[in-house]
A and B are shown apart, each in its own frame.
Chain A
């Protein structure tokens, strides 16, 4: 079954059209990168997909279910969402935050899941620290672990789900960026449909199966990275001229798919070297 279907979705705020007749289909296991300049409608698209914004025209189906008819708790089993920044007002510990992903459930299975997700985002050592004392990147990883717990719980109940990520790597250092990429790849390999807003076109090209470029509320291009991220599209959508996609001599350049984490067995993104 198709993971996500958007049909003719239009969202207006006052006189501004935020999304204009957007159609989008995502298959299970696909990784979609949403790119576009500021104000192109990326955040609005994510809010439509998450069910936050349901007043516009058109239909949104998650795993065949119309989200307009879904209760918040049903939505929470179908999809998990990582926001760009989350501010926690009270001194919850990292582990308490991650546990929130399991809703009110407790038990040995939840404990194991929480431990695994904390380890996956490399926060096992900080699990008892108060989240407000952590750096921005560490907090972001804690919320990623929380979202992964929610996703795992939802998938255990309803089969492969949908993972929505808004700038998942923006606050992270290199090492943890590639950890996130690896985590996302692993979920997609198991059937999760992933939609991520990315500003970093190189990352989008390296990670995504498909790149969706938004421009003024419309989908300007939708396809494999090499067909979307082209000098022509960059000129049209971002308003920049790109002489060539090659590197100027002598300028250092570090891209996630060039990196191998030290002390790890397998480079998680090594297989994607031909994507540019």
Chain B
């Protein structure tokens, strides 16, 4: 370990005084909330059937207008656009939260449920539920009853299995090797992909369509029942965030140090793994595998408000929702009336970002 002081010229500018940082946290959180509402209104107004602001207000019952037009707008708004907006925000929030917690758990900014196979595991479990569930339950009264309620649960279990396995593989004596994490994640992701491929081989046409939807990642199938199916996971995750924030901060110093400072480390780790799986699993069940939101969002936020999880986690919820809502609105308007899978949009924006992050971390990661 070198003890040479770093020359002043090479040192990045000092962080702002703590008062300013706290003020900035408040500003960022409220700014993100305002932006999210504005983006939701804009997203509600845009689309294949445009609803200008005046008619939007009428459809919401705020002002009067022609009855036929209102009825048509309300139909578009309440049964197509609003569920999609709510689902985009919920899935974005879940993905960003899963990424943030995972990075805290693995003590590295490169961890992301999409990259290390957690989402693939969730997708495999969901696909297995569709294909095998139908087959196994074919003769019974439950045949064809595998609905949106069961998928989040299956996806959660798939994500849980991969996350727990990854932690066992990549962490030795309280230290996590990021190279092992990424490579093991790659292997597990490939394995889950192969499993999904096998299911594709077994699937009938209807099942095939459903599975394809998962592997691409899209919010096109948004309905209120889908929103309702992941709502419990979202609520549970949000409620858990304040509980886990301080432990994650201390875990950044290492497992031994966190224990020295009074954190029940094993319990915290199990809790974090379950939370990551719940958030990533619910997101995958609702929208398929959407990458990079979980890696871009926390990184950007750390640059602005610092790495403390008490502010980082709620900010990630807001920015994650905002980012995915914006990406999804782009996805459905760029090539309207056709639409791109949103997973492609986030990958195009996120993959170069990840590469830059990786190159800057190269010395640390040891690649």
Contacts and interface: CB of A to CB of B under 8 A. Distances in A.
Interface of A: 50-52, 71-77, 80-81, 83, 85-93, 95-97, 100-101, 103-104, 128-130, 133-138, 143, 150, 171-173
Contacts of A172: 3
Contacts of A150: 260-261
A149 B249 CA distance: 17
Contacts of B17: 128
A92 B104 CA distance: 13
Contacts of B254: 83, 86-87
Nearest to A90: B307
A88 B6 contact: no
Provide the main secondary structure of the chain B interface. loop
Contacts of A86: 253-254, 257
A134 B262 CA distance: 26
Nearest to A89: B107
B109 A90 contact: yes
Interface residues of B, number: 35
Interface of B: 1-6, 11-12, 14-18, 107-109, 246, 249-250, 252-254, 256-257, 259-265, 302, 306-308
A93 B15 contact: yes
A172 B1 CA distance: 10
B253 A88 contact: yes
Given A52-B260, A136-B1, 20 more contacts: A52-B256, A73-B264, A76-B261, A77-B262, A89-B108, A89-B252, A90-B252, A90-B302, A91-B306, A92-B249, A92-B307, A92-B308, A93-B18, A96-B306, A103-B261, A135-B2, A135-B5, A136-B2, A143-B253, A150-B261
Given A80-B260, A93-B306, A103-B261, A130 B12 contact: yes
A85 B1 contact: yes
B11 A129 contact: yes
A72 B259 contact: yes
B262 A76 contact: yes
A81 B12 CA distance: 31
Nearest to A103: B262
12 contacts: A52-B259, A83-B254, A86-B254, A88-B253, A93-B18, A93-B306, A97-B253, A100-B253, A133-B11, A135-B2, A137-B3, A150-B260
B259 A134 contact: no
A103 B250 CA distance: 9
A120 to B, nearest CB: 19
B260 A100 contact: no
10 smallest A-B Cβ distances: which pairs?
A76-B262, A90-B307, A136-B1, A73-B262, A137-B3, A89-B107, A81-B260, A72-B264, A128-B15, A128-B14
A130 B15 contact: yes
Interface centre among A75, A95, A128, A138 (most CB of B within 10 A): A128
